[in-house]
Amino acid sequence: MSFPEQTPEKLISSAAPFSPVVHLNVGGHLFSSTMSTLRRHPDSKLAEMFNGQIKPRTDAQGRFFIDRDGSHFGALLEFMRSETLPTENIEEVHQEALFYNITALIKRLEETPQLFGELVGRQQFLSRVPHYQENIEVLIRIARAEAVAARRSTIMICVLPSKDDVGFYEDAISCLEADKESVVTFGPWTASPSARDLLDCVKMDIESQGYRVEIQPHVMERSFMSRSYDYFYRLTFTWW
């Protein structure tokens, strides 16, 4: 189906009382809306795109073209039309709202249970764990380096929740029968979550990148005179 030939400038400058209909092609997904809806949030990228100051790109059929995946664009349009929040794919819609800078939608989504716990709970906790993201990257890098001709890669993790635990680190690492140079250490942190909570986060964030991992406590041999340390865990990547 073809649309009447109108230049972008004519569409954008069409006069009231009726806001002109706008046909959109967002990464191959087709939508129709009105200019007033697209301009509803003045600070958004969509309002900037259709403010009449720039010439938007069009496809071969004359639809305005946005070179971005449009899988969740409909949820943005629905919010701009009626302030209706999506009930599914909340994280994905949130990412799109961030890209288009629709601040009202961003704020509403961040108040939903799906994102509130992640942003206010988990991410705030992880921000208090020194070098957390860097350690995740190190774990993946070591695992990939050890994957050659192997089904699994196993890396030792040391978790030290408190400053008191740090005081025992040297004794604990000296008792470890493993390659001490490749041990990746997390902690300490000033927050209530436990070592198990930290390990759940490590597993979640690595698996979110497509890897399959398991974490098990590393049981150390204990002599009659030695102290038992429960700081060490085995992180195993399974490749096939």
Domains of the chain: which residue ranges? 21-111, 130-238
State pLDDT tens for residues 186-217. 999 999 999 999 999 999 999 999 999 999 99
Helix and strand element counts for the chain (H, E) = 12, 7
Q: Are 235 and 213 in contact (CB under 8 A)?
A: yes
pTM: 0.75
Q: Is the omega angle on the peptide bond into residue 188 within 30 degrees of 0, that is, cis?
A: yes
Using a 10 angstrom Cβ sphere, with 0-12 exposed, 13-18 middle and 19 or more buried, the burial of residue 190 is exposed
Q: Which of 191, 90, 74, 51 is nearest to 132 (CA)?
A: 191
pLDDT at 220 > cutoff 80: no
CATH superfamily of 21-111: Potassium Channel Kv1.1; Chain A (3.30.710.10)
State pLDDT tens for residues 38-66. 999 999 999 999 988 888 899 999 999 99
Helices (H), 28-160: 35-38, 45-49, 73-82, 90-100, 103-110, 113-116, 123-126, 132-145
Q: What are the backbone angles phi and psi of residue 217, rounded to the nearest 5°?
A: -60, 140
